[in-house]
């Protein structure tokens, strides 16, 4: 039986599970996009790599007491997750300055943020995902101040946990994007994905970029750096 396609995004397709109404099947695509979809390419194997990396990271987070929508990996490019209604916010956590913040605020590349800096962007392609403040976030998404504070607190815990995981494989977690959703019971859960598409990862020794920046900047081979991350995680987790 064909699964019902609920939504197709830039990096994943979302299907309704045919065995549980509260479950979704996420299918990771081989497409890569950058600059709000202006730069596009296909990389054979990217879907599998991100599905495997994201599955390993969600499991490792769970071992550290952080719940997410992840249930289990199904096959090479799909995983089963709890159905959540995504809150249209991109929660960005930054440990080291690079990317948009250096241009927007004139902060020098590689400045360390201690404590980590949290930013909110409104998830809306037609608006180019603008940076917003807490009041905008509450107004635009209907979440309460308590829920927003809970999301930020959770994002900081996730940062601590991911920093430990990546440090154990010789990688610096520079910055990353998280999305949260509300499950059937009303609980807000980490959703979407955690992968080299959504995290900036630098080799701890050489500062080599091991993430989507190699595609954004055209400086390296996306598949080989994603494979490097997967190999190191598999050896450790
Ligand atoms: N990011 C993402 N999706 C987006 C925007 C950003 O996954 O739509 C991630 C990005 O990979 C990086 C972090 O969030 O790890 C911070 O991105 P930044 O705001 O610096 O944006 P960029 O410079 O990539 O435009």
pLDDT at 114: 98
Helix (H) / strand (E) element for 161: namely helix 145-167
**Chain centroid to CA 147: how far?**
20
pTM: 0.97
pLDDT at 202: 98
Q: At what angle do helices 134-141 and 145-167 cross, to 10 degrees?
A: 110
CA distance linking residue 43 with residue 23, whole number of Å? 28
pLDDT at 85: 98
- Quick one: tokens of 181? 């959703």
Q: Which atom of ligand 1 is nearest to the CA of 176?
A: 15
CA distances (Å), origin 138, targets 117, 134, 147, 227, 231? 19, 6, 9, 39, 40
pLDDT at 152: 98
Cα 176 to ligand 1 centre (Å)? 7
Give me the tens of pLDDT residue by residue for the chain, a chain 237 residues long: 799 999 999 999 999 999 999 999 999 999 999 998 999 999 999 999 999 999 999 999 999 999 999 999 999 999 999 999 999 999 999 999 999 999 999 999 999 999 999 999 999 999 999 999 999 999 999 999 999 999 999 999 999 999 999 999 999 999 999 999 999 999 999 999 999 999 999 999 999 999 999 999 999 999 999 999 999 999 999
Paired with 14 in beta bridges are 7, 26
- 176 Cβ contact partners less than 8 Å away, ≥ 6 residues apart: 92, 93, 159, 162, 194, 198, 199, 200
Which candidate, 3, 52, 50, 89, places its Cα nearest to that of 199? Answer: 50
pLDDT at 100: 97
CA distances (Å), origin 99, targets 88, 119, 206, 225? 21, 13, 19, 19
Best mutation site among 100, 111, 171, 199 for ligand 1 pocket (most ligand atoms within 8 Å of CB): 100
Cα 175 to ligand 1 centre (Å)? 8
- 11 Cβ contact partners less than 8 Å away, ≥ 6 residues apart: 28, 29, 31, 32, 33, 50, 193, 197
């Amino acid at each position: 039986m064909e699964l019902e396609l609920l939504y197709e995004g830039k990096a994943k397709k979302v299907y309704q599970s045919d065995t549980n109404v509260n479950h979704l099947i996420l299918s990771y695509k081989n497409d890569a996009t950058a600059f709000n979809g202006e730069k596009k390419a296909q990389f054979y194997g990217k879907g599998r790599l991100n599905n495997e990396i994201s599955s390993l990271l969600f499991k490792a987070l769970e071992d550290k007491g952080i719940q997410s929508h992840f249930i289990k990996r199904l096959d090479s490019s799909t995983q089963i997750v709890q159905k959540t209604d995504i809150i249209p916010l991109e929660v960005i956590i930054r440990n080291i300055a690079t990317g948009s913040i250096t241009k927007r605020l004139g902060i020098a590349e590689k400045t360390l943020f201690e404590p980590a800096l949290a930013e909110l962007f409104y998830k809306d392609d037609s608006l180019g995902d603008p940076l917003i403040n807490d009041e905008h976030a509450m107004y635009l998404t209907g979440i309460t101040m308590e829920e927003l504070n809970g999301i930020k607190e959770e994002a900081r815990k996730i940062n601590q946990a991911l920093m430990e995981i990546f440090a154990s494989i010789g990688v610096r977690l520079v910055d990353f994007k998280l999305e949260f959703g509300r499950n059937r019971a009303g609980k807000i859960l980490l959703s979407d994905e955690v992968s080299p598409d959504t995290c900036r990862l630098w080799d701890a020794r050489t500062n080599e970029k091991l993430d989507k920046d190699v595609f954004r900047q055209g400086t390296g081979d996306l598949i080989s750096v994603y494979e490097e991350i997967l190999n190191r995680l598999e050896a450790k987790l």
